[in-house]
Structure 1
Amino acid sequence: MNHLSRLLAVVALSLLPFLGLAQEPAVTVPLPATPGPGDLITPVNPEPIPIDEALRGRLRPLGKPARKVILVILDGLAASGLTFARALSPRESIELDRFPVVGRVINKPPRGEVNDSAGAASALATGYPGPITRVAVDELGRPRRTILEEAKARGFKVGLVSDTRLTHATPAAFGSHVTDRENEPEIARHLMQSGFDLMLSGGLQYFLPAEEGGQQPQGRHLLAEAARAGYTVVKTRADLAQAVSRNAERVLGLFAPSFLPYTYEPSFRQGPTLAEMTAAALATLDRHPQGFLLMVEAGKFDPCLHQYDAAELAAQVRESELALRAIADFVRTRSDALVVVVPDHGTSGLAIVESFDPEKFRRLATSTRLLADRLAATSPDLAAQLAATFPGLTFTAADLAFLRGATAKDFPHRLGWMVNRKLGLEFLPYLREFPKGNAYDHTGEDQFLHALGAHQGLFGGVMRQWEIPRRLAAAMGFVFP
């Protein structure tokens, strides 16, 4: 550097305080602890990402920590899903469009390029990269403490809400530690041991013994155990409303044997919706002055996308929008509240193409999964039934041959792929055969994060998925993990 350059640098530095740009040390994202002998955890691309403003709260005390924090996980709904939601909105906007802070999330697992719900949720829960198919453990099966467990230990109330099963990968990762996400009976036992204050979802079968149609071994009845532990156990919408009105301190709600019903299913209105469960959770947890941390999962996007069921996907978008509005209204009226919304991964490569017409879609869309239950690839009147269900769409002889070539397992996927393509929705290139029953799997693109509320600025910029709970902890005034 020559003399003139050094002089200009000195002058510039001397002016920084007067410009409100006082120098501060560079801030980088802290990496997971150095692996010990035999530890196979090695973060992919482990070099730190400069964040500037984003993690200053991680390294110095915040003026006033957020006390009411909600993490919303949109399972499988990548950016194209948000575009799809906006296209179908009467206002041509969605609630997330009003969130002031947007970040970009790199969601690679420790090995490979594409995450699953277990690995992604484990990263979001523990602050470490999560091995796929495992729940809040490292690659050797050692438990990783979750941010809900940490918040509970620090005096916060904590809760889980999901429209899937309480034992499904995403909610499981916040309160259980297992090496196989499919071991849902064990996950249920871990959740009962967690002491979490509120849990609302489906998955009742995993909390009951075999003699009551459940999956718990050795005759264990986890609902009875929960009641003895002081939980108000609820199974219906009316039960939940009563628990809220009676100011129940600890609530366990299990409203279906497996997933809560899908919108197009006749039983949908029998149980509480995602928005109703979320509102009940906020009303229950907000009574406690010490604050709370709540995880809400909108979890049905992923199975809809796996099955190419765009009509049910649109219905789930509407349901999640109601829940997000309830959360956003809650946050906007409280200075110490924060909500962070993030997908865990993409699914099936949904894309809107030029031929997509929202009005036509709204008029013709029906759940192809449920339609396939009524039809069959071998139905002699398949062409007539398709014409009656989708007036205005043309099904050629080649289309019908394509459908008739499906197995019973593949038929819903072929039907969904074909119908939605005619409506202007594309999925990953279809190879005229399904090697798997659930069609195409997850996708590994970066995801967009949206934040609103106290310390929302912590969530701008580019971050890895496992950084998100660290930033949540910073917003809440503590260091994690």
Structure 2
Amino acid sequence: MRSLKLAVFALFLATSGSTGLEDAAFWDRVATQELHSALRVSVNERRARNVVLFVGDGMGPNTITAARIYKGQLAGEGRDAERGLLAFERFPHVALLKTYNTDKQVSDSASTATALFSGVKSNYKTVGLDANVKLGDCESSLNKSYRADSILKWAQDAGKLTGFVTNTRLTHATPAALYAHSAHRSWECEAKMPRSAAKCKDIARQMVEDEPGKSINVILGGGRQCLVSNVTITAKDPIDTWACRRGDRLDLIRMWEEEKRAKGVSHSVVSKNKELTEVDFEKTDFLLGVFTNGFLQYEHERDAEISPSLAEMTVAAIKTLNKGPNGFILVVESGMIDQAHHRGTARKALDETVALEKAVEEALKLVDLNETLVIVTADHTHTLSIAGYPVRGTSIMGIAYKSKSDALNYTTLSYATGTEIKFYPFNATHVTRPDPSTEDVESFEYKQHSAISTDEGVHGGGEVTAYAIGPWSHLFQSVHEQNYVAHVVGFASKIGNYEVATNGAATMELVTMSAVLICLLFN
């Protein structure tokens, strides 16, 4: 019966002519094509040898919609841009994730990353810990029973290779949740730790000195100033004033290299894009790349001599990890989406989302989807809005409409919170908006108007989308708690609590399903 349905649909598509109009017949054909694709989706219940988890930091649904249109308009698709799809939007399985944490309706990146990577929701701005640890409570964070191991630890225990890639600092909130346990996400180095936290180790040292950080095979990103004391500062590589700057005379990069040399394992340390391209990935078991003092540059302004793109780092990571006999788990974070939104620069955020899509496309070329689970999701949303009634084909960065209230234009994209309202002039009775039609709204530096003035654009609290393809990707099928993602990774690849050693595959599946039921009953 199923094959008959496919044959009927194929015949319909082949015999349906196009008038060039988006009339009823046109939309019938579009829907039929989608039905045809849906009917061809099959379920893969093989064990996932590999997992690649992409996290677009701050990449909420509106960001994805706007980025899809932005990409199409850059390609000259005109009215067809709205109908396009980003590569990961073609994945067959989609779900929504609830992003609140244990003490906030709207979360930060540390607690959402802990949920995504460790399967445990936690308190605001805490890293790799459960809800027993309050923000800044060093003493409680030392209690091992309050610590949440990540999917990288689960993978290492199962004999898999592991890695992570980010275009933020390696010690920033999202990647830190993969290897660290910290009562405050700002404790990236010792310089920002209070005296009350003297017993606790900073996040950078945990990455280099402790498990699972010291056993991670690939680490690529920025944040040299948190790893090395007295770093060199140049115009092209400035200090990130938002982050701590190491001052205890330690050089954690050198320490990482010395530890690998002492163990006699093949390793490479790189600090420039050119050095990364020269690595012999087949002969490298451990790869550390730290390219900048702070964050890597936005893609549109990236100096290719210094910083690799997110796609280039992803390719390097997979080539290094792909030779492991037991497979690998790789996490890729596009953190500059979030940074652009915080600063109210929507075009940068959309451009970074397209750069993430490129990394996904490159990864798909290197993995076998029969044995590799690929997930693309976000940690939280931002307050980006797509509003007004712009004519189809209007630039997504452009003017949407004219307000009937103040007779001034407004852009299609705006924010609920941000900094631009500070520049609105006041007259005797009310605030007067500037007319965006007099501004360069297409500029990467243009800041969309916001409704409420804050020190920066703050996070949104809505659901984020998870897109999945590969083994057990069909487990993404509904509205889930965000911590569900780590459990899907564990279940699909049989690691962590889902690792079961049996002689029969059927027995393993039965025992694993029992573990799932137990978790549901007691959590």
Normalised by the length of structure 1, the TM-score is 0.71
> Which aligned pairs between 1:357-372 and structure 2 lie closer than 5 A?
360=395
Query: Is 2:180 aligned against 1:176?
Result: yes
SS at match of 1:480: helix
Aligned identity (percent) is 26
Tell me what 2:250 maps to.
220
Letter aligned with residue 117 of structure 2: A
- Does 2:64 match 1:82? yes
Q: Does 1:208 align with 2:228?
A: yes
**Contact persistence 1:305–1:313 (CA under 8 A):** yes
**Matched ranges for 1:49-448 at <5 A:** 64-90=46-72, 92-138=84-130, 139-140=132-133, 141=141, 142-185=146-189, 186-193=202-209, 194=213, 195-210=215-230, 215-230=245-260, 231-245=267-281, 247-265=283-301, 267=303, 270-331=306-367, 333-355=368-390, 360=395, 403=423, 430-431=451-452, 434=453, 436-438=454-456, 440-448=457-465
Counterpart Cα distance in 2 of 1:401 and 1:137:
37
String of CA shifts for 1:229-279, please: whole Å, max 9, x gaps.
Answer: 224111111211222446311001011111101134363663100000001
Q: Which residue does the alignment assign to 1:466?
A: 483
**Whole-angstrom distance in 2 between the partners of 1:444 and 1:420:** 30
Root-mean-square deviation (Å): 3.2
Partner of 2:403: none
- State whether residues 234 and 240 of structure 1, in contact with CA within 8 Å, keep that contact through their aligned partners in structure 2: yes
Query: Does the C-alpha gap of structure 1 residues 353 and 208 become closer, same or farther in structure 2, counting only changes over 3 Å?
Result: same
- State which drifts further: 453-462 or 172-181: 453-462
Contact 1:168 1:181 in 2 (8 A): yes
Give the match for residue 27 of structure 2.
none
Question: Aligned with 2:176: secondary structure?
Answer: helix
Mapped partners of 2:489, 2:290: distance in 1: 28
Paired residues, number: 373
Residues 342, 449 of structure 1: 8 Å contact kept: yes
- Matched letter for residue 340 of structure 1: I
Structure 1: gaps of 5 or more residues: 1-56, 365-399, 407-413
| Higher mean C-alpha deviation, range 278-287 or range 237-246 | 237-246
Residues 2-37 of structure 1 show CA distances to partners (whole Å, capped at 9, x for unaligned) of xxxxxxxxxxxxxxxxxxxxxxxxxxxxxxxxxxxx
Cα gap change, 1:360 to 1:469, in 2 (>3 Å): closer
TM-superposed CA distance for 1:355, in Å, is: 2.3
CA deviation after TM superposition for structure 1 residue 164, in Å: 0.9
Structure 1 contact 345–445 (Cα < 8 Å) conserved: yes
Gaps of 5+ in 2: 1-42, 73-80, 134-140, 190-201, 234-238, 240-244, 261-266, 400-419, 427-433, 499-523
Given the two structures, how large is their TM-score scaled by the length of structure 2? 0.65
Q: How many Å separate the matches in 2 of 1:441 and 1:211?
A: 31
CA distances 1:35-92 after superposition (whole Å, capped 9, x unpaired): xxxxxxxxxxxxxxxxxxxxxx9xxxx9631111011111001111111111122362
Shift of 1:404: 7.2
What is aligned with 2:197? Answer: none
CA distance in 1, matches of 2:299, 2:221: 15
Deviations 1:199-228, CA, capped at 9 Å, x for gaps: 000111111123756933431111111111
C-alpha distance in 1 between matches for 2:374 and 2:302: 32
| CA contact 1:119–1:132 (8 Å) conserved in 2 | yes
State how far apart, in whole Å, the 1-side matches of 2:363 and 2:384 are: 28
Q: Is the contact between residue 421 and residue 450 of structure 2 (CA under 8 Å) also seen in structure 1?
A: no
State the partner residue of 1:32: none
